[in-house]
Amino acid sequence: MTKLIYSVLLCHFIAAFAALGMPLFLPTVLPTLGSSVNAEWAGVLFILPTFCTAMAARFWGQFADRYGKRRSLLRAQIGLAAGFMLCGMATTLPMFVFGLIVQGTFGGTMAASNSYLSSQVEEAKALAKTLNKTQLSARLALIVAPIGLGWALSGTNPLTAYLWLAILPLIAFAITLTLPVDKTEGHQTQSKSPVGKPHTRSAYSLSALYWVFGAQFSFAFAMVVTFPYFSPYVEQYGDMSPTWIGFMYALPHGIYLLFATKIDTLSEKINRYQQQATLWLGFTLLFISCVMHLEQNEALLFVARVVFGFGMVCCYQGLHQALTNRLNRQHGGKVFSRFDAMSKWGGVAAGLSASLIIRFYSLDVPFLLSALVSVTTLIALIIHSKFGHQHATNSITTE
């Protein structure tokens, strides 16, 4: 089982390396498509694959539950490779945009990987730990890819890099072919059940997770809205080198890499007193960190980034625990596709909000907005913990 898990994680890292690395270099890529292409397109194209992934999530979730979760993972890897090939062969902006649309619509390796893992890892506690590791592989790719690609692109055409990167998802595809096929029972189980019952159970299994999906959206928004203009905001602090700014930007992701696999025991102790305590702590730390960012002090900035990183660790841990404790494995494809889609929608909304806000307000407003969303979500989660259980009990009784 350990070999299977790390094989999936390796495949996810390989795919994430390509998918998360190249968007940062869009301002370099676009001028190669023609003199009339403005670099301002980079902001729109940055979120285009994410938007397409979110739009297609519901369909691919149903596909995974009906036709197989490993098959859906293979589809995502081929879709990512096809999208990169199209981008690499593009000679005009429309061709390049089409490649990004294919990448986003037919990709989605995060949801597909988690869905497949949910079909192989039976214990909820073990699955929650595994989901933390898939996020760990994504954070590792987010740190390694910009460095590696920045070095590789220094002597080559950036469009050619897309063609080389298309090989990585194909390697992941080859590895995934060696993994065991999951036992997909969705359609057959429904045919054996009384009329109406499977639909009711499916609907309830999803409705019981709506608050988790909402928390995932808020977390993604609160985290991502601080990203786009972090560099120009920190430049206001004084004479800071680009290297130090880059280190500060990556620091929360480094904290996640260091502590994501070490918080399980602490989280269990915290959750003995309140089931959602780890998630509450995560949003509290995000709120505190964003408030600390508003005080333009270099020493305090370092502390704020560390706190932000621990907030990410606790939020992911709390979300994954809540998800796996309420997961209906039969509908794992739908659950993980929607869970990932809410993260994508949160990121898209955050990127658009940050761009709109900066036009009218100062660079510190994204941190203020992140703090507001974090504390509002925290209050909503506390209220839900007091009254949500009673509503769920009433729903079960009604059914």
pLDDT exceeds cutoff 90 at 148? no
Q: Are residues 152 and 252 in the same domain?
A: no
Give the domain CATH number at 1: 1.20.1250.20
* Residues 232, 150 share a domain: no
138, pLDDT greater than 50? yes
Are 136 and 197 part of one and the same domain? no
**Domains in the chain: how many in total?**
2
d(CA 34, CA 43): 18
Q: Are residues 180 and 296 in the same domain?
A: no
Res 399 pLDDT > 70 = no
pLDDT at 313: 92
The residue among 137, 166, 184 that closes a domain is 184
pLDDT band at 214 (very low <50, low <70, confident <90, very high): very high
Domain endpoint, select from 130, 161, 184: 184
Residue 140 has pLDDT above 70, yes or no: yes
Q: Are residues 335 and 216 in the same domain?
A: yes
Confidence of residue 291 (pLDDT cuts 50, 70, 90): very high
Q: Which amino acid is at 297?
A: N
Structure tokens that stand for 219 in this block: 């977390």
Looking at the structure, tell me whether residues 94 and 136 fall in a common domain.
yes
Domain encompassing residue 111: 1-184
Based on the fold, state whether residues 170 and 196 are members of the same structural domain: no
Same domain, 180 and 223: no
Q: Which residues contact 28 (CB under 8 A, 6 or more apart)?
A: 153, 158
How far is residue 87's CA from residue 93's CA, in Å, rounded to a whole number?
10
In terms of domains, do 116 and 190 share one?
no
pLDDT recorded at residue 188: 43
131 or 208: whose pLDDT is higher? 131
Per-residue pLDDT averaged across 207-218, rounded?
Answer: 88
CA distance 48 to 104: 7
Per the CB < 8 A criterion, the answer to whether 391 and 282 are in contact is no
Cα–Cα distances (Å) from 176 to 113, 169, 285, in that order, read: 10, 10, 37
Domain final residue, candidates 123, 157, 184: 184
Verify that 164 and 21 share a domain, yes or no.
yes
Residues 397 and 330 in one domain: yes
- The reply to whether 190 and 145 lie within a common domain is no
Distance of CA 139 to the CA centre of its chain: 10
Q: What is the pLDDT of residues 230-241, one digit of tens each?
A: 888 888 877 777
pLDDT given at position 80: 94
CA atoms of 167 and 144, how far apart (whole Å): 18
